[in-house]
Structure 1
Amino acid sequence: MRRSLPLAATLVAALLCSPVAADARTVPAAAPAADRWDSPGPHPVAVRPGLVTTLYYPGDIASGGRRHPVIIWGNGTGATPSVYDGLLRHWASHGFIVAAANTPNSNSGREMRAGIDRLTALNGADGPFRGRVDLDRVGATGHSQGGAGAINASGDDRVDTTVPIQPGPLASVSSLHGPVLYLAGRNDSIVPPALVRGFYNASGHVPAIYAERAGADHFTPVGDGGGFRGVLTAWFRYHLMDDAQARGLFYGETCGICADSAWSDVRRNARVEPVSTTGR
């Protein structure tokens, strides 16, 4: 388990004096909404339990003739993938292969990275996954302790983008090397928004976005992802699938989440705009 003293200091500072967010709600009303990614995708869903990793994946993976991007997942403290079953199935229906760490303690990120190793082996072996895993497009995400695990797992060069959901404090952002979306719940008393903003404030070396869900508490993502599901799916559809419609939810002047009142606070750092104009 990695600890970062400079980051800890940043988190404490964020609690005492959080910077004023830019007014993100002056963007045009025509900004895209997350609703279209909130609905299930076109793929049937299959689940393969495993001792270390449970896989959620498109049930037609062997016959589709395409490679599928990967999402590695970390659970909250004391939880298993079944606690988030609806969300993980949702991503599989959109064409992702989800490698969910079978552990209630995913803070180190090692258990999550084991999912990439497992899929690398399956991609080269006989069976439905052979040649169907897009190992060049990998995202890391997780909830609470798993959110911290997602940050730690992203030190792996194989991870392209990261979405920590209400992440616990024991993580270091210094090894992040791709775009990151930090998700917080305005009513979260377990991981207060200021702690999540501390991670965001310390991520100036990568394109970083902070989004705080109005009315969300710490358990909103449990089950099917709640109000976070559409935005999570859109983020991965853009960064791992080049979905041009999903891009507008986060980037450019017509930033969809910036204009959406469901998000009480949205911040984008100075490195976001070059991504806005040049794409993935």
Structure 2
Amino acid sequence: MQRSSTGTAMPAGSAAGRRARPRTRSGAGRLGASALAAVLSVLMAVVAMQPAAAQEDYQRGPDPTVESVRAQRGTFATEEISVGPGHGFNGGKIYYPTDTSLGTWGAVAVVPGYTASWDAEGAWMGHWIASFGFVVIGIDTNSPTDWDDARGRQLLAALDYLTRESPVRDRVDAGRLGVMGHSMGGGGAIHAATQRPDLQAAVPFAPASFSQDASNLQVPTMIMGAQDDTVITPGALDQLYATLPAGTPGAYVQLSGGGHGFPVWGNVNVTRLTIPWLKVFIDNDTRYTRFFCPQMADTSGVARYQHKCPYEPAVR
């Protein structure tokens, strides 16, 4: 039996009873649909907010200026620790910001050129780059005559050590990593980026990329050379850059001087471009895109610049 709205008992199968039930279900359905729509609206709004929040969280340091990226030090105090041989490479040094209040840092592994040591060739940039908000691991190679592909494998081993075993592993964001190198080490940076496409940035200096071209690169890559380099000539780098896929963010910077050794001394023309590239693609920091797009903000010391503007950091 079922009761009517007046409290009178009616057979469940009567016409009035049949009419009462559908009205009750229909009202609940309308209420449920409205509530579901409201919930979905809130969820969509929260999801839409996520990328912007994630990008903002990676910003490190004050708003940049042309002068600040040319400085020999950023705003973060740094320390260094030595790494012994093993772990897939021949040891090296780690440079890192001492600040622990901002969470984890992006990181970059760097390898020197053919027959060179890290201390002799690349150590000058360790504290320099770290002071702008990155962890840097500079390595020596298992053999000073290792080829570009071997150097690439050792760069990847260095990143794995840095993020999994090193004393500063808890300071590093394993999802925001890059590679750099000079000459044969620059070819190593290309090899590493080809083998691990989920890296965020690559900066090969005068790369001797004998084992591969750039046709398989998906990692944002800035190739840097010198107009007066007679070892890895501008023509060779023109050909290499031309193989970079159209869909891969890239740039080619030709410095007006410095020869083949332009990255082995405290060259501000190297760091003032390297730091913004790392900031844009490792830190998702769009404050630094203006140094590249729509044109280079500071062209001093630059003979030629090719780019693929605009540069949009990946949303994570």
TM-score for the superposition, normalised by structure 1:
0.77
State the distance in 2 between where 1:157 and 1:59 align.
Answer: 26
Percent sequence identity over aligned pairs: 22
Does residue 107 (structure 1) correspond to residue 148 (structure 2)? The answer is: yes
Q: Partner of 1:148 in structure 2?
A: 187
| Structure with max Cα Rg | 2
1:43-62 paired onto structure 2 within 5 Å: 43-51=77-85, 52=89, 53-60=91-98
Inter-CA distance 267–208: structure 2 relative to 1 (3 Å threshold): same
Deviation at 1:279, TM superposition (A): 4.1
Deviation at 1:59, TM superposition (A): 4.9
1:28-43 paired onto structure 2 within 5 Å: 34-39=66-71, 40-41=73-74, 42-43=76-77
Deviation at 1:143, TM superposition (A): 0.5
Q: 194, 205, 208: which is aligned to 1:165?
A: 205
State the distance in 2 between where 1:163 and 1:111 align.
Answer: 16
1:181-260 paired onto structure 2 within 5 Å: 181-205=222-246, 206-251=248-293, 253-257=294-298, 260=299
Deviation at 1:254, TM superposition (A): 4.2
Unaligned runs of at least 5 residues, structure 2: 1-63
TM-score for the superposition, normalised by structure 2:
0.69
Q: For the Cα contact (< 8 Å) 1:56–1:89, is it kept in 2?
A: no
Q: For the Cα contact (< 8 Å) 1:85–1:224, is it kept in 2?
A: no
State the distance in 2 between where 1:116 and 1:209 align.
Answer: 24
Deviation at 1:55, TM superposition (A): 3.4
Q: For the Cα contact (< 8 Å) 2:204–2:224, is it kept in 1?
A: yes
State the distance in 2 between where 1:121 and 1:212 align.
Answer: 36
How many residue pairs match? The answer is 236
State the distance in 2 between where 1:50 and 1:247 align.
Answer: 37
Q: For the Cα contact (< 8 Å) 1:73–1:99, is it kept in 2?
A: yes
State the distance in 2 between where 1:89 and 1:174 align.
Answer: 33
Deviation at 1:34, TM superposition (A): 4.7
Inter-CA distance 254–197: structure 2 relative to 1 (3 Å threshold): closer
Q: For the Cα contact (< 8 Å) 1:86–1:225, is it kept in 2?
A: no
Unaligned runs of at least 5 residues, structure 1: 1-31
Corresponding residue SS for 2:263: coil
Inter-CA distance 175–254: structure 2 relative to 1 (3 Å threshold): closer
Aligned Cα root-mean-square deviation (Å): 2.2
State the distance in 2 between where 1:46 and 1:134 align.
Answer: 18
State the distance in 2 between where 1:133 and 1:74 align.
Answer: 19
Q: For the Cα contact (< 8 Å) 2:197–2:219, is it kept in 1?
A: no
Deviation at 1:196, TM superposition (A): 1.0
Deviation at 1:157, TM superposition (A): 3.0
Corresponding residue SS for 1:174: coil
Q: Partner of 1:71 in structure 2?
A: 108
State the distance in 2 between where 1:187 and 1:117 align.
Answer: 36
- Which structure ranks higher in relative contact order (CA pairs < 8 Å, sequence separation ≥ 6)? 1
Q: Partner of 2:302 in structure 1?
A: 263
State the distance in 2 between where 1:163 and 1:262 align.
Answer: 18
Q: For the Cα contact (< 8 Å) 1:35–1:230, is it kept in 2?
A: no
Inter-CA distance 33–210: structure 2 relative to 1 (3 Å threshold): farther
